[in-house]
Structures are given as structure tokens and as C-alpha cells.
Amino acid sequence: MSGPSCTPLLSLLLRLAGPVLGLALLFQDPCACTAAPSLLPSAGHLAQKAKAGPVQQSRLQSLSRQGERRGLAGSDPARARAAGARLALPGGRFLLPAGLKQHYSGAAEGWDTDINSPKSVIVHPDGSKYYVNSLEGCATVVYRTSDNAKLKVIRHAFGPAQAGLWAKPSGLYPFQFRLDAGVDSFAGKPVEMVFTHQGRYLWISYYRRDWDRNAQDPSAVCVVDTAADEIVRLMETGPLPKMLAASPDGRYLAVTHWGANTVGLVDIASPRPRDWRHLAEVAVGERLNLCFRGGHVNRDRHCGSCLRGTVFTPDSRWLLVGRMSGSGIAAIDVEARSCRGILGGGISNVRHLAIGRNRLYASVNVAGYVWRIPLTEVLAACERLREGAGGPGGSGGSGGSVSLAGWERVKTGKGTRTIVLSPDGRFVFAACNQACTVDVLSTQPLRLLGSIPAKRYPVGLGISPDGTRLYVTSQGRRGSGGQALGIYRLCSRVGLAGLWAGKQAKRLAKAGSKDAGSGMGDEGGREVMNAGPLPAAVPAQTQAPAGQRVQAPAGQDAKIPRATTDGQSQDSSQERNQDRKQDRDQGSIVPQNAGMVTGMVVWPDDPRHPCSLSVRGRISQ
């Protein structure tokens, strides 16, 4: 059969076969399960494609690719607006935007005023819900994972009515600058979080008590019972705590005091919160003198070694702490409760630490790198420090210093902050604050795979236990941008149900060939660019080509960079001027992490997003 009589029969066959194929894909593809039945291939679209000429077929393919990027969002308008780029990963996986919650938004479904300077995010071990710390909102917001519905807002405000929540004072953290009875009436600014006791309890650190302007007196941590999401315990800490870490054996909790050059150790071996107690405060180097003179002091700058990334080794014998304002990583002997020394080897300005697949990973903030080294090398160096190598050690200082050989490093976006590993250990995700991207690295071998845009300026990351959802907090900077929680999906494949989901393609199929040259504008004023296959990365004009492994010189420490704040990047004046110019400009702006392939999208509620390109059809290099 040939000629025009073929078309009706083809349409009939496609009309019958399309839903069957689409349903089969919905059952196979975990990402496609969010697609509505209306997103299945339409017979009109397929018939239109069958009789279209080469130019119109290319047009339909372009529209189908737009549908692919939006189709996985299903009927959720927030996710449909957020979707606009995808990053192909090895093994047929994709990372793509799936949702957005923002303090200010052009659409009601994405508007959430409880997202106020979001600092960190963590997913419950059972994967059912996730928690977001709103630092300036003095609150922790709880969302359900399945539909991102808000479950609760935990307010961090305390007074005489909460006096029964406090643990007995340890004597380790005396008040020195405020001595009246009102010290325990305050609002806490939540920073970081960690789960203990198989997810039953969530610990949250407070940057400072709101009345303590210069973070000179003790702050606190709270403990949330995740069964009811209620605060059940308060414990004192040293000034300006940030990172929290739980030992793998369940015996210890570490509280790293960014603003005091110390780390607190808490005994949490008991299942009952009333039995938990402080053990020691360990100094890393000299304790910081907190007798500041004059008015307000920027404690993100005046923080000594600015202790940040914190992680226990798998045997729970050592606690490793990164020094953002110095070189190397402090090694704390947990049983001896003392800092034995510093692990060096060229690494400095360490912001975050993570352990996975028997390797230690570290993010270097200012320059933008991810470093790693075999954990066996780290443990061997710790034992050498215990034996006195590199100089005298003790509880009152940083001890000796041992250089680590065997570091690998990969260039990432500028301002690399939090890093997390996927549950299977195959990928490392990095929040690149100044580049406004989430960079993705493979671990076998260690190399940069690419990046995907984030609301400015990303700082915190959380990943679900099954590895299918990634959450990104964007704080903003100097009152500009951010105030957002980005939600991303990690999918095994993008099904045909998404490929033919675009409303534009359906409209074109119904309207016929006369409208083939119109309708390219996206909903909400958004311009979508075809991410397509990832081209080869172009070497960046930086210290090393993008994604290339570089062997650090053994025994040589890099120049110590300036201390950087945790939420507000302390850039040079030139960088600050560049940031201001980007805030003013309306044109296309190439992200600062040149050399990383990124599928970009201009967000409708933030048209001046400095990390997006407003030029249609381009892919940033």
C-alpha cells in the first residue's frame, strides 16, 4: 500500500500502539513514573512526524527534546518550571532539575517563606522526609520526600518555658561576656545537622544565640526526636559551632567550633538523651582569643583556623577536621582526646570532608577543587603522629605535621563548598558557590563529568538513601539571589513518555504544517536550550585543565589563602566588583567555572540569574 491511503492506517496503528509503549516505559523507568497519562506519545504527533518533510521533522525533534526536559515533571507546575537542563552520567543515568522552593517566587506552588537563608539539608535514613535549616529564619523545615509537601516547621526559640530541655552544664563552656540569668532565652540560628541512633535523633548546631552579636559566648545544639519532629534536648557548646559528626560505632558526637579553634566531644552511647554528656573540648592549635574590642566583629573572618569539614574514620579512632584558614587536616585522637597533629601534602583551605570507598575526599573552597587520597595513607599517617612523628603532640596544640603522598585532585567550580557521595560510591556531587552549579565527578576514575545549574549561590547538599534525589540549598549573597531549595532527580533513563511530552509538539501536531514555524516560546517566559549530548570539555584557563587529575607535590604545602566565610564568600575586591556587575547586567553571562559543560536555563522568577545564559541555543563551555 502506498501514497496518501497509507497515512490513515499508520495513524490508526500508532493510536493503538502508542499508549501500550508508553505504559511499558512508565513501568521500566523510575523517572517516568511522575509523568501523567497525557504525556504518552500522541498518534497525531507521530502521524505528523511521519508525513513531515526534513525541515519540519527537525522542528518536531527540537520540540520533543523540550518535552523531554519538561515531561518528567508531570503535572507539578513547580517541577515543570524548574526542569530545563539535564546532565548525562555514565551507566545511562541522568541528573535533571525536578523542583524548586524559594522565599520569593513568581508562582504560588514554589513560594515558601520558611526558606530563609537555607544553609544545609539532610535526608532521613529511611528516605521518607528531609530537613532544611533556614539560618536567618531560625527554623528547620521538614518536607515529605514523595511529594515535597511541608510537614512541619521546627522553631528554634527558647525561654524559661524550655528550661527543662537543657542538659546539666559541663563546666567546659563558661559564659564570659554575659553573666545574667537571661542567657538561655534566645533564638538559635541553625547551621548543620547529623543523625544518630539509626535516625531516631537529629542534632542541629546553632551558629550563635541571637543576642550574642560577636559569637563570643557559648552557643548550643538541639536534639530533635524525628518520630514527632520535636526538640527533646538542648546542650551547650563552644562559640560558633558548625559541623557535627557522629562516630560509626555510635559512641561519640563531635561538635566543631568554627569560632574557637576547638572541637567538642559528646558521649552519646546511651539510647536515652538524658544520659548524654560532654567529654572534652579539644584545641586545634591555639585557642582563639575572643576578647574583641570595639563594635561588631565579622566572625566569619575572625575565626582562627576556621575549622569546618569534620568526619570520623570508619574505626571511630580518629576524627579528621579541615582547616579553612590554614593548610592541612587536623587529626584528633578520640580516645586520648587530643589533637596529634596536622596531615598535609599540599592541601589547604579545606571546607568539607567525606569518606567513601576507602578514600578520604576533601573540597577546597576558594580555588575550587575536589581532592582525595586512599584512607590507608591517612590512617598510617595518623599512627605516625601518635608515635610522635613530625614534632611533639599534645592536648594543648596542633602537635606535629606529616605530609601525605598520594593525593589526587580535580578542578571544579569556584567556591566548592559541600560535597556528598552517592550511596553506591560512584559519584561525587559538589556545590560550587561562586560558579552557581552542582558539579558531578565520577570516582572510578576521579574525573569531572559535568555540571548542572543551581540557584545562586549553592552551599549545602543532601542525597536520598536510594540515590534518586539530590537537594541543594542556595543561601544567596549580600542580599542578592538564592533563598532557594533546588530539588534534582537522578534517573536511570529518560523514557519515550518524556521525549514526546512537550505541549509545543502536541500543539504543532494538531495545528498542522502551517504552524510549523511558530510556538517556540516556552511557558513563563523561559528560554530552554538543548542540552543534548555532552560535548568534550574545553580546558579552563585556570591552574589545571578542567576534569584532569593532577598529582600534588609530596611534602609541599600550598600558599594559605584568605579565610572565607561559610555563607558569604570573602572575595577579593576585583571579584566583588565582578559579582556586582553580574548582578546589574541583563545580558548573557558565562559562569566562572569555564570549561564545564552545562545545560543552562533562565529561571522565570529570576531573569538576572548570573549563572544562566539568555542566548537561545547555546551551551556554555
Of 55 and 314, the one with more pLDDT? 314
pLDDT tops 90 at residue 197: yes
| Averaged confidence pLDDT in the chain | 74
Residue 339 host element (H or E): strand 338-348
Give per-residue pLDDT as tens, 412-425: 999 999 999 999 99
Across 61-78, average pLDDT: 34
Residue 462 host element (H or E): strand 458-463
Label each residue of 541-582 as H, E or C. CCCCCCCCCEECCCCCCCCCCCCCCCCCCCCCHHHHHHHHHH
Selection from 160-174, 389-403, 518-532 with the highest mean pLDDT: 160-174
What is the band of 398 on the pLDDT scale with cuts at 50, 70, 90? low
Residue 110: predicted pLDDT: 83
Across 602-608, average pLDDT: 33
Across 176-183, average pLDDT: 91
Dihedral, CA of residue 438, residue 413, residue 557 and residue 257, to nearest 10: -50
* Residue in 259, 281, 368 with CA at minimum distance from that of residue 592: 368
Cβ(231)–Cβ(273) below 8 Å: no
Of 40 and 357, the one with more pLDDT? 357
pLDDT tops 90 at residue 24: no
Cβ(492)–Cβ(93) below 8 Å: yes
Cβ(11)–Cβ(18) below 8 Å: no
Of 398 and 184, the one with more pLDDT? 184
Q: Which three cell numbers stand for residue 347?
A: 592541601
The fraction of the chain above a pLDDT of 70, given in percent, is: 63
What is the band of 152 on the pLDDT scale with cuts at 50, 70, 90? very high
What is the band of 491 on the pLDDT scale with cuts at 50, 70, 90? confident
Across 495-521, average pLDDT: 35
Of 135 and 580, the one with more pLDDT? 135
Across 503-517, average pLDDT: 38
Selection from 43-57, 273-287, 385-399 with the highest mean pLDDT: 273-287
* Residue in 212, 132, 87, 81 with CA at minimum distance from that of residue 475: 132
Q: Which three cell numbers stand for residue 147?
A: 511529594
Round to whole Å and give the CA distance between 272 and 200: 11
Across 80-94, average pLDDT: 69
Of 5 and 305, the one with more pLDDT? 305
Cα angle for residues 529, 548, 560 (degrees, 5° grid): 105
Across 167-171, average pLDDT: 96
Across 214-239, average pLDDT: 97
User: pTM of the entire structure?
Assistant: 0.72
What is the band of 530 on the pLDDT scale with cuts at 50, 70, 90? very low
Of 251 and 40, the one with more pLDDT? 251
Round to whole Å and give the CA distance between 129 and 583: 35
* DSSP output for 427-444: EEEEEETTTTEEEEEEET
Give per-residue pLDDT as tens, 566-604: 444 333 344 444 444 443 432 222 233 323 333 333 233
pLDDT tops 90 at residue 183: yes
Domain boundaries, the chain: 3-81+500-519, 135-210+231-262+276-281
* Residue in 602, 616, 409 with CA at minimum distance from that of residue 530: 616
Distance from the Cα of residue 583 to its chain's centroid:
23
pLDDT tops 60 at residue 403: yes
pLDDT tops 50 at residue 45: no
What is the band of 492 on the pLDDT scale with cuts at 50, 70, 90? confident
Round to whole Å and give the CA distance between 436 and 452: 9
Q: Which three cell numbers stand for residue 254?
A: 563531635
Across 78-104, average pLDDT: 75
* Residue in 570, 512, 485 with CA at minimum distance from that of residue 132: 485
Cβ(513)–Cβ(149) below 8 Å: no
Residue 477: predicted pLDDT: 80
Report the first-to-last Cα separation within the chain, whole angstroms.
50
Give per-residue pLDDT as tens, 433-479: 999 999 999 999 999 999 999 998 999 999 999 999 999 999 988 77
Q: Which residue carries 566572625 as its cell?
A: 299
Three-class secondary structure of residue 379 per DSSP: helix
Of 161 and 539, the one with more pLDDT? 161
Q: Is the dihedral of CA 377, 425, 326, 291 positive or negative?
A: negative
Residue 611: predicted pLDDT: 32
Across 104-123, average pLDDT: 87
What is the band of 481 on the pLDDT scale with cuts at 50, 70, 90? confident
* Residue in 572, 578, 607 with CA at minimum distance from that of residue 592: 578
